[in-house]
């Protein structure tokens, strides 16, 4: 281990564990700034055993006790907000504007939200649904949850998994993305300091090997995954032989549909935020803009103007809008898509300058590509947006739905009836009208089609982390039930 750098260990049970070591690269400089433990299958085994043990006592707490403990943890996280925001910006290259005002407070709010709603579980009233029986429903914890998260919103994605999982009475073993583990590790450390039980939240670092060990461990009853559709398919495959519960929050390629009757200035501003926020590394980013013929030229010229005003730079500068991409490999992938588009004869508008060192990429507009081009069909996951024309509402619906994804979409129009028709017709887990990207703890997030299965956030997420059980009481003692084959005598 290089002593120059801070080293981040895993959190397993109540211990800090450093099995191996790997470098963490600062995306703003391309240089090593810290090291992190590198977990193995044996660490997963140990973490799952710790979680299994912790879950027993945790699952026995009353809802009120569990809620109070999570609220206390949320307060502790909030008191570390500045530290967490700085770490997230350093590790993932995210502008502090975003981590201070978005990622960290939103994560704290997630914990408070799930701590609140776990006290009010949804279910049918106990009653007589079968003659002679009283039925009730229980929502049982799943047990040990395995979670795997991506690098684009490291702390948010971890909070979206941990908060509902523990609020529902489960314990968790979470693997963050290999290059952005720091805030997830700090969260687990803060949880211990705030008094949450040892083993309730375990963090094992590493890549596919650790992820696969989580997905196949016999004592992991559910796998909650966020990442690419390609890896999601592998996770589903690994989890299926043991019929583990699976939720998959996967890729997206959100359409952004602008009708001629929209407030064009609001739409252009919304497109700039929606397309470039977090350097476009957002599963709901406005990746495909479709504009009605009549206003296409006007909209494009305003989009270019506004895109040139986006400040790309050091994540720690107050006026920076977007920082670098999160890794060199990802920068090369984004570059590759833009280069391919250029070679296909698609017009590329590059907006603005970027710093020379680090993994920066400028806001980029790909003009009028064919609908079947890779840049329209596949996730680029950078500050790169395509723009195309449409003529009718029916054509807009067809284009919007024409990718394998279905995570999010937005529609821009001042016609309420049209907005309602579009909201119904678009196949996506979220449709925003006259905005793009707003998200809250109370509202479900999750995909249609190959964008995934299940929901994060909202009470639907809490349900994902519980199993419904029907309990039926015979309230008569009468053994002569009409459907019995034989009768062994009367109860009296």
CA 63 to chain centre: 26
Give the contact letters, 334-373, x = binds to ligand NAD (CB under 6 A), - = no.
Answer: ----------------------------------------
- Is residue 84 within 8 A of residue 111, CB to CB? The reply is no
Residue of 146, 252, 363, 406 interacting with ligand NAD (CB under 6 A): 252
SS3 for 70-81 is HHHHHHHHHHCH
Catalytic residues: 249, 283
Q: Which stretch binds ligand NAD (CB under 6 A): 43-51, 131-139, 250-258, 356-364?
A: 250-258
- Is residue 196 within 8 A of residue 45, CB to CB? The reply is no
Q: How far is residue 465's CA from residue 486's CA, in Å, rounded to a whole number?
A: 40
Q: Name which of residues 205 to 224 contact ligand NAD (CB under 6 A).
A: 207-208, 211-212, 215
170/231 with CB nearer ligand NAD? 231
DSSP of 407-447: SEEEEE-S-HHHHHHHHHHS-SSEEEES-S----TTS-B--
- Is residue 204 within 8 A of residue 215, CB to CB? The reply is no
Could you tell me the smallest distance in angstroms from the CB atom of residue 11 to ligand NAD?
Answer: 16
Q: Which stretch binds ligand NAD (CB under 6 A): 115-123, 203-211, 461-469, 471-479?
A: 203-211
270/382 with CB nearer ligand NAD? 382
Question: Is residue 227 near ligand NAD by the rule CB under 6 A?
Answer: yes
Could you tell me the smallest distance in angstroms from the CB atom of residue 223 to ligand NAD?
Answer: 9
Comparing C-alpha atoms, which of 249, 198, 248, 241 is closest to residue 217? 241
Give the contact letters, 54-93, x = binds to ligand NAD (CB under 6 A), - = no.
Answer: ----------------------------------------
- Is residue 297 within 8 A of residue 73, CB to CB? The reply is no
Question: Is residue 226 near ligand NAD by the rule CB under 6 A?
Answer: yes
| Structure tokens, 136 | 């009730």
190/287 with CB nearer ligand NAD? 287
Total residues at interface with ligand NAD (CB under 6 A):
33
Residue of 251, 274, 280, 323 interacting with ligand NAD (CB under 6 A): 251
6/208 with CB nearer ligand NAD? 208
Could you tell me the smallest distance in angstroms from the CB atom of residue 213 to ligand NAD?
Answer: 9
Residue of 407, 411, 431, 457 interacting with ligand NAD (CB under 6 A): 407
Residue of 452, 461, 462, 464 interacting with ligand NAD (CB under 6 A): 452
Q: CB-based contacts of 308: which residues, under 8 Å, 6+ apart?
A: 351, 352, 363
Residue of 43, 88, 249, 321 interacting with ligand NAD (CB under 6 A): 249
Q: CB-based contacts of 85: which residues, under 8 Å, 6+ apart?
A: 96, 99, 100, 103, 104
Give the contact letters, 138-177, x = binds to ligand NAD (CB under 6 A), - = no.
Answer: ----------xxxxxx---x-----------------x-x
- Is residue 289 within 8 A of residue 400, CB to CB? The reply is no
| Structure tokens, 275 | 């397309």
Burial class (CB in 10 A: 0-12, 13-18, 19+), 484: exposed
Could you tell me the smallest distance in angstroms from the CB atom of residue 335 to ligand NAD?
Answer: 16
Bridge partners of 147? 174, 224
169/454 with CB nearer ligand NAD? 454
The sign of the torsion formed by the CA atoms of 359, 365, 367, 370 equals positive
Determine the length of the chain. Answer: 492
Please work out, in degrees rounded to the nearest 5, the angle formed at the alpha carbon of residue 83 by the alpha carbons of 80 and 85.
105
Binding site for ligand NAD (CB under 6 A): 148-153, 157, 175, 177-178, 207-208, 211-212, 215, 226-228, 231, 234-235, 249-252, 283, 379, 381, 407, 445, 447, 452, 456
């Amino acid at each position: 281990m290089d002593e120059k750098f801070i080293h981040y260990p895993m959190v397993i049970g109540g211990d800090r564990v450093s099995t191996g070591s790997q470098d963490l690269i600062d995306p703003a400089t391309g240089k090593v700034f810290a090291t992190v433990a590198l977990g193995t299958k044996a660490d997963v085994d140990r973490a799952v055993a710790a979680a299994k043990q912790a879950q027993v006592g945790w699952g026995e707490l009353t809802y009120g006790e569990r809620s109070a403990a999570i609220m206390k943890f949320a307060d502790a996280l909030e008191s570390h907000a500045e530290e967490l925001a700085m770490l997230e910006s350093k590790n993932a290259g995210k502008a502090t504007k975003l981590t201070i005002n978005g990622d960290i407070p939103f994560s704290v709010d997630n914990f408070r939200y799930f701590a609140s709603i776990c006290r009010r579980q949804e279910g049918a009233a106990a009653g007589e649904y079968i003659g002679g029986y009283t039925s009730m429903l229980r929502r049982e914890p799943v047990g040990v949850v395995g979670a795997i998260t991506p690098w684009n919103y490291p702390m948010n994605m971890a909070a979206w998994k941990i908060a509902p999982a523990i609020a529902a009475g489960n314990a968790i073993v979470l693997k963050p993305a290999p290059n952005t583990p720091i805030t997830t590790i700090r969260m687990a450390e803060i949880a211990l300091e705030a008094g949450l039980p040892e083993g309730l939240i375990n963090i094992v670092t590493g890549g596919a090997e650790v992820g696969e060990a989580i997905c196949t461990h016999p004592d992991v009853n559910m796998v909650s995954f966020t990442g690419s559709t390609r890896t999601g398919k592998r996770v589903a495959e690994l989890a299926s032989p043991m019929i583990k519960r699976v939720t998959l929050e996967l890729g997206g390629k959100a359409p952004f549909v602008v009708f001629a009757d929209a407030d064009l200035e609001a739409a252009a501003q919304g497109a700039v935020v929606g397309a470039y926020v977090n350097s476009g590394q957002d599963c709901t980013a406005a990746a495909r803009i479709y504009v009605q013929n009549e206003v296409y030229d006007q909209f494009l010229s305003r989009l270019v103007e506004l895109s040139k005003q986006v400040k790309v730079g050091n994540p720690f500068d107050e006026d920076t809008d977007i920082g670098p991409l999160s890794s060199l490999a990802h920068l090369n992938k984004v570059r590759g898509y833009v280069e391919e588009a250029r070679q296909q004869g698609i017009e590329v508008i590059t907006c603005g300058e970027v710093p020379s060192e680090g993994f920066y990429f400028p806001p980029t507009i790909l003009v009028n590509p064919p609908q079947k081009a890779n840049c329209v069909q596949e996730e680029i996951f950078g500050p790169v947006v395509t723009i195309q024309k449409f003529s009718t509402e029916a054509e807009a619906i067809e284009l919007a739905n024409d990718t394998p994804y279905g995570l999010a979409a937005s529609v821009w129009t001042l016609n309420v009836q049209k907005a309602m028709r579009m909201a119904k017709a678009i196949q996506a887990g979220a449709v925003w009208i006259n905005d793009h990207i707003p998200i809250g703890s109370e509202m479900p997030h999750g995909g249609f089609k190959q964008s995934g299965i299940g929901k994060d956030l909202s009470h639907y997420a809490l349900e994902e982390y519980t199993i419904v059980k029907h309990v039926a009481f015979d309230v008569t003692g009468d053994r002569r039930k009409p459907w019995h084959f034989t009768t062994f005598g009367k109860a009296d």
